[in-house]
A and B are shown apart, each in its own frame.
Chain A
Amino acid sequence: MSVRHALLALLSEGPKYGLQLREEFEARTGEVWPLNVGQVYTTLQRLERDGLVESDDDDDGDAGPQKGFRITPGGATELAHWLRTPPDLASPPRDELVMKVLVALRIPGTDVREVIQVHRRYLVQLMQQWTRIKEAEAESDLSLGLVVDAELFRLDAVIRWLDAAEGRLKRAAADPPPPASMALPRLRRRVGTRS
């Protein structure tokens, strides 16, 4: 999440104070991503330095709570550009859970299905907690509802991968494939891993 662009988005509605920006940021993200005041002012200073926002009193360097900020035309252009720039989803992230399952396969005597189940249980428990939030509040709070859905779909995808992995292991146990050594380095060469 880019705090920089979130602040630009809030300022695109009109001039605001630093504290107000923090409160609105948290409210709009369903209070799932807390932000401290220091982060807000540091980011605002950088935005001002880059000419993307202006403050009320440019002569006074003191960024007090009553100092107002507004977006510049350059800031608006930057915001529009950011909204339409896809995040990097092309290269697979270095997924720790995938690594753990791959490593578990190679350690003699490890029950990989048990390892998978430990993670599955943890993920389902997390989903239960998100679902409670959805049940309690998400109907009345659009931002929170969107955030909770995103988390549920993300965790669900990981569980589906674990299910698929378990199915694959079961099939492989019944009909063992030829030993595939060095699967990781080959994969990395093929698709490239984000560093």
Chain B
Amino acid sequence: MTVLELRDVSKAYGQGAARVEALHEVSLTVAAGGMVAVMGPSGSGKSTLLTIAGSLEEPSTGEVLIDGAPLSRMSRNDKARLRRRTVGYVFQDFNLLPGLTVAENVALPLELDGMGARKARRAAEQALDGLGLRDRASRFPSELSGGERQRVAIARAVVGDRRLLLADEPSGALDSVNAEAVMRLIHEACKRGVAAVVVTHDAQLASWADRVVFLRDGRVVDQTAPLPGPESLLTPGQTP
């Protein structure tokens, strides 16, 4: 079942001679449980693609559909509700609120959506549990390591019944061990049915995805073939 669909999405900034096209007729489909990585150099349009997919920005032309519903026909309130309920965001610099505890940070999107504090807290603890962070629930972000902060950000992005996870260089600020842990968590969220789009310039992260789309100068120029089984690497032709 398709969770996110971009249909011929273009985005231009500025006018006349100063006009810059950040995205050009990009089409992309992500199904429930699917993980797509978007790879490209800086300035290729990766972040624009993500903000448009998450309804934070509107495309100049083209259409974005989430769970089959076109964003162009939604009111501002509808979109705000969608962002609170359906879409989770993970950014490179974590974006946790420093004055709130870990559990409060994770519960925040649910409370903003009108859920009672106690119920939201329970859901937050459940999400933290799943990421091995239960004992950090009452700490403040400043008391955590970078890897832990990003795991909290992922808990916040998947808390409740979120179906679409959008991540922008989610492990850009982390060492390789923590970066891998973050990608494992996103991958596990996908196994539970979440659809994820991860934009990155890092091939090690992108290789966790089922499909890698290559973006260059705002255009999708290429994508990987469906994955063969791992046995193709473990039997290099030589029979014992």
Which of A26, A113, A135 contacts B240, CB < 8 Å? A26
Q: Are B214 and A120 in contact (CB under 8 A)?
A: yes
Which residues of A, 116-131, contact B by the 8 Å Cβ criterion? 117, 120-121, 123-131
- Tell me, rounded to whole Å, the shortest Cβ–Cβ distance linking A28 to chain B: 15
Instruction: State whether B224 touches A128 (Cβ < 8 A).
Output: yes
A128–B187 touching, CB < 8 Å: no
* CA gap between A159 and B37 in the complex, in Å: 15
Given the interface pairs A121-B222, A121-B224, A125-B225, the reply to whether A133 lies near B230 with Cβ below 8 Å is: yes
Task: Find the A residue at minimum CB distance from B202.
Answer: A156
Chain A interface, DSSP helix/strand/loop, else mixed = helix
Q: Is B208 an interface residue (CB 8 A)?
A: yes
- Which residue of chain B has the shortest Cβ distance to A128 in the bound complex? B207
Could you tell me the distance in whole angstroms from the C-beta of B179 to the nearest C-beta in chain A? 12
Select one of B41, B208, B225 contacting A131, CB under 8 A: B208
Q: Inside 8 A of B209's CB, which chain A residues have their CB? A: 128
Say if the beta carbon of B234 comes within 8 Å of chain A: yes
Beta-carbon contact of A32 and B234 below 8 Å: yes
B228 at the interface (CB under 8 A from A): yes
Do residues A22 and B234 form an inter-chain contact, with CB atoms below 8 A? Answer: no
Contacts of B80 in A (CB 8 A): none
Known A35-B240, A163-B41; judge A129-B214 contact (CB<8 A). no
Q: Roughly how many angstroms separate A153 CA and B204 CA in the complex, as a whole number?
A: 8
In the bound assembly, the distance between CA atoms of A147 and B207 in angstroms comes to 16
Q: How far is the CB of A92 from chain B (nearest CB, A)?
A: 22
Tell me the minimal C-beta distance from A34 to chain B in angstroms.
Answer: 5
Taking the closest CB of chain A, its distance from the CB of B146, in whole angstroms, is 21
Considering the complex, give the chain A residue whose CB is closest to the CB of B39.
A124
**Using a Cβ–Cβ cut-off of 8 Å, how many residues does chain A contribute to the interface with B?**
34
A79 at the A/B interface (Cβ < 8 Å)? no
B238 touching A129, Cβ below 8 Å: no
Contact A127 B41 (CB under 8 A): no
A37 at the interface (CB under 8 A from B): yes
Are A129 and B227 in contact, with the CB atoms below 8 A? yes
A residues 92-148 near B (Cβ < 8 Å) are: 113, 117, 120-121, 123-133, 135-136
Q: B12 contacts the other chain (Cβ, under 8 Å)?
A: no
Taking a contact as CB atoms closer than 8 A, the residue among A113, A133, A160, A167 that contacts B233 in the complex is: A133
A-B interface, 5 closest residue pairs, ranked by CB to CB distance from nearest: A127-B207, A131-B207, A159-B203, A133-B230, A128-B207
Interface residue ranges, B against A (CB under 8 Å): 39, 41, 184, 187, 201-204, 206-209, 212, 214, 216, 221-225, 227-228, 230, 232-236, 238-240
- Seed contacts A128-B209, A155-B203; 11 additional CB < 8 Å A-B pairs: A31-B234, A32-B234, A120-B214, A121-B222, A128-B207, A128-B212, A128-B224, A130-B207, A131-B204, A159-B203, A163-B41
Can you identify 13 A-B contacts, CB atoms within 8 angstroms?
A: A22-B240, A34-B235, A117-B216, A120-B222, A123-B203, A124-B224, A127-B207, A129-B227, A135-B184, A135-B187, A135-B208, A156-B203, A163-B41
| A contacts, CB < 8 Å to B | 22, 26, 31-32, 34-37, 113, 117, 120-121, 123-133, 135-136, 152-153, 155-156, 159-160, 163, 166-167
